[in-house]
Amino acid sequence: MSYVVDPTTPYIELSEDRLAVDFLQFPVQSLDYKAGDCDDLSILYSALIESLGIETAFVTTPGHIFAAISLEISADEARKSFLYPDQLIFKEGKAWLPVEVTQIGDGFLRAWQTGAKEWRENVVKGQAGFFPIHEAGKACEPVRFAGGRSAITLPAEESIVAVYLEEINMSVEREISRREAKLQADISRTGGSDKLRTSWACCMPAMGLTTGPKSSSAECCSKTSTCLPRSTWETSTI
């Protein structure tokens, strides 16, 4: 998929005119064209995520629109589970993960970081909008696509799995890197108590990482309660 600004109805211009009518592609059209502007890609991304039973929302900033994914956990749970809660959106007690859909080709983590930055910068200025799809559906009836459908060739399963695992590993390492650095610093400063060393040895293998001391994660975790909660890294890689 490629991000291409619509030359006839650019969103950045039409979004400033309440009377203007924009051209929006149906998800199947974007898949067929393999391209779209920010609103087209947001529609496609939300449709794909919604098809998995996960709620989404549209986020608007001046001249732009992108998507957000519901984490289906409370704001309090998210603040406890995520190392960087400022990269989430909190609305009415729920936690959402912003995704800059125009950068999804650069990887999910980059798209998440960019979306979070855009949200933070605009929400403090009072110029960020947030529109849950389910709420919008109560006010606007769905529109059916009347055109024909072309065959869409899916990528090979192996390539999808490879990209997915790469993103998962990057997300996990990002979430725990600061915790790992703190544990290492504490070990260097204090000489390393058994509790600290066991905590580090336990947490790293438990998440599939091997940068910590070689040790059995099951054995380590049976000796200490200081390991990073499993919910932390599982939730952080949704």
Per-residue pLDDT of 20-52, as tens digits, reads 677 889 999 999 888 999 999 999 999 999 999
Q: What is the CA radius of gyration of the chain?
A: 21
In tens, the pLDDT along 164-173 reads 899 888 887 7
Indicate the average pLDDT of the chain: 80
pLDDT per residue over 65-78, tens digit each? 999 999 999 999 99
Residue 236 has pLDDT above 60, yes or no: no
* Confidence at residue 185, expressed as pLDDT on a 0 to 100 scale: 81
Confidence of residue 138 (pLDDT cuts 50, 70, 90): confident
Contact yes or no for 59/130 (Cβ under 8 A): yes
The H or E element spanning position 233 is helix 230-235
pLDDT at residue 231 in the model: 41
For the chain, the domains span 2-139, 157-235
Count CA atoms within 13 Å of residue 151 on its CB side: 2
Give the confidence band of 211 by pLDDT, cuts at 50, 70, 90. very low
Residue 230 scores a pLDDT above 60: no
Beta bridge partners of 59: 66, 130
Pairing of strands 2-3, 35-36: parallel
pLDDT of residue 136: 87
- SS3 (DSSP) at 16: coil
